[in-house]
Amino acid sequence: MAICSRRETATVSQASLMEATTRPRAATSPRLRAPRRVALLGGTTTRDDCAVGLRYLANPGDLVQGPAISDYERCFAEVIGVRHAYSFSAGRVGLFGILKGLGVGVGDEVLLQAPTHIVVANAIRYTGAIPVYVDCRLDTYTIDLEQAERRITPKTKALLVQHTFGIPVEMDAAQDLSKRYGLALIEDCVHSLGARYAGRPLGCYGKAAFFSTEETKTISSTMGGMVVTDDPELAHHLESFQASCAFTPAALTWRYVLKLVLYHLLSKPHLHPYSRALYERLGRRHPLPRPTSSAEAQGLKPPRYEQRLSNAQAALALRQLHRLKSNLQHRAATVSGYSTALGGRAYGPRPPKLATPGFVRYPVWVKDRTAAMQAAARHTVLGTWFTSVLEECASPAAAGYVPGSCPRAELAATHLVNLPTHLRVRKEDVEAITLALQHLVSTPEVER
């Protein structure tokens, strides 16, 4: 579709919701069905998406370049409520473009929270700037703005706020802080597509924002990112930066699309008990492309870093963007089930009063992560965002993190598990998962 109208979005969302609620009931008797095991990711794509992907694989003439890219960017900008959107091969590339467009460079400092992902810190470091880590709050797992203020220096040029797990940062306080110190406010929305604060979509509050459509996110194009802004000068820089980026090679794009189709099939709950066992047996030997390169894990800039999103991936992401409303409704209902079963606000995060989260996953604090994963293994694969203050890093020191500087983040990295919220999670799954975890959930050992 060339235009993302509200009417089209609502129609597709209703159709998707109907499909999600009716299709499973058409299966055979429960006695004859294989056991269910909910995958951590997947659940955002449909059979029709896979059919579209297979058509691109069979006829790759417009696999890399084509009209879906501009259509997707236009629709994305409308969903966020901004004038400009630019797609890239990954959200991290978009962040790098934002920083370059803002003139952030050698010796400058950028405030960002821990825990986060190594690729976020890398994007800052690749400009020559210095990431300055700020601890998280343990009621939201988002940035501690009071500590952020204490870490501002004359070299600080930007405040990067991460809406962790889809939980909005208190954006009025973040805007006030950035305004008082003359900082560029950037939103990290990789977890939070569709979430809102004070009734407005996340992504429209700062100077710019970046999103991810990597396979673990709210919608998936296997890899992919988007930058949005309402600032005309920054938009000009981003347009130039995007034009300077090469398109993802056709062979890699082909593998991304194939991976999307395979993940749709292999993450089906009745197949996942077997496909997950095969995945774990293969380990790092599996042939599918990985989201983080070994160079990035070590804090190094990989070759061909600056790349654009392909046409086929844009087309697949656009289809899912049209279904965003029903996607978010399902996630909200699933989180409500988790929260109720696990004791509500006593054990789950406590979003700000003005926040409407868009939970890409539901974070839960547990006494023993290994025991929790084993207890839930029959029913789901638990997520482990975060296992480090810089997820997937070879060592936090590779990106300049000083041990002990963010103690709450370090504690969270040993106690958090994340429950799946995607469209394949049913009420029966919520009940089974929470029953398995009830004796292991806890509250942070330090004062919130």
DSSP string, 91-158: HHHHHHHHHHHTT--TT-EEEEESSEEHHHHHHHHHTT-EEEEEPBPTTTSSB-HHHHHHT--TTEEE
pLDDT of residue 235: 98
Buried b (16+ CB within 10 A) or exposed e, 381-400: bbbbbbebbbbbbbebebbe
pLDDT of residue 5: 52
CB 112 within 8 A of CB 92: no
What gap in Å lies between CA 135 and CA 145, rounded to an integer? 9
CB 156 within 8 A of CB 181: yes
Structural domain of 333: 1-448
pLDDT tens readout for residues 372-405? 999 999 999 999 999 999 999 999 999 999 999 9
Distances (CA, A) of 412 to 100, 166, 228, 391: 31, 16, 30, 12
What gap in Å lies between CA 103 and CA 194, rounded to an integer? 29
CATH number at residue 430: 3.40.640.10
Helices (H) then strands (E): counts for the chain: 16, 16
User: Which residues of the chain carry a pLDDT beneath 70?
Assistant: 1-34, 279, 283-286, 345-346, 445-448
Pairing status of strand 184-188 against strand 156-162: parallel
pLDDT of residue 9: 40
Count of the separate structural domains present in the chain: 1
Count the Cβ atoms, other than its own, within 10 Å of residue 288: 14
pLDDT of residue 413: 97
